């Protein structure tokens, strides 16, 4: 049994193009691995709270000194991290909004970056503490950004995931989705073929 963690962040929910790409990836992973157990976290319908001073203070407070609210914050963060630790494969659906990742995804990242839990600092710099596993990032964009200075998503996501120990990261892009039906169709077809190639 292969455990798959799916994280989607489209404001259009499961109708969003990035979410549709996630479905195609899941179909391919099912064919490749047979029996799969899928855990889905939809950050649009069930958003992670944005980081504020109170939540950040909970991360910094020792376990012996946390009050009840801080314990709830830590338990919630721990549950998100546990989902990653339980997964053999992670599938991440990422639309582009105003050149960046959705704010809901940033909030999620802020809750899984925990010093001493998912990373630690050393004399030689930070070290990720999560065991590496494949991460597939399905990126849906209205324009053309991959390989250009306007693609802030790819380096950020790769850097963040690497920071916590996830370095086996694979990107599939569907771009130009708002540049006419022909471009949209061809881009989605190409993304589908790339998904098939990655999971072959």
Binding residues: 10, 96-99
Predicted model pTM: 0.95
- pLDDT tens digits for 131-176? 999 999 999 999 999 999 999 999 999 999 999 999 999 999 999 9
Strand partners, 42: 8
CATH numeric code, 2-199: 3.40.50.360
SS3 95: strand
Which sequence spans correspond to the domains of the chain?
Answer: 2-199
164 touches 176 (CB < 8 A): no
The span from the CA of 175 to the CA of 164, in Å, is 28
Backbone region of residue 75 per phi and psi (left: phi > 0; alpha: psi in -120 to 50; beta: other values):
alpha
By the 8 A CB rule, do 59 and 114 touch? yes
pLDDT band at 9 (very low <50, low <70, confident <90, very high): very high
Measured CA distances, 58 to 1, 104, 177 (Å): 36, 20, 41
pLDDT at 34: 87
Annotated binding-site residue numbers for FMN? 10, 96-99
């Amino acid at each position: 049994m292969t455990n798959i963690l799916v994280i989607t962040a489209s404001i259009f929910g499961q109708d969003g193009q990035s979410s549709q790409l996630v479905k195609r990836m899941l179909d391919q992973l099912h064919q490749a691995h047979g029996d799969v157990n899928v855990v889905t976290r939809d950050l649009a319908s069930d958003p992670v709270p944005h980081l504020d001073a109170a939540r950040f203070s909970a991360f910094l407070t020792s376990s012996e000194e946390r009050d009840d609210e801080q314990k709830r914050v830590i338990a919630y963060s721990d549950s998100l991290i546990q989902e990653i630790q339980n997964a053999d494969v992670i599938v991440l659906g990422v639309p582009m909004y105003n050149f960046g990742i959705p704010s809901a995804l940033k909030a999620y990242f802020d809750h899984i970056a925990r010093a001493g839990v998912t990373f630690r600092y050393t004399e030689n710099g930070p070290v990720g503490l999560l065991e590496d596993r494949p991460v597939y990032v399905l990126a849906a964009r209205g324009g053309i950004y991959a390989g250009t200075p306007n693609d802030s998503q790819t380096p950020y996501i790769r850097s963040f995931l690497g920071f916590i120990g996830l370095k086996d990261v694979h990107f599939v892009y569907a771009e130009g989705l708002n540049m006419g039906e022909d471009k949209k169709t061809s881009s989605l077809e190409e993304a589908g073929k790339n998904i098939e190639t990655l999971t072959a």
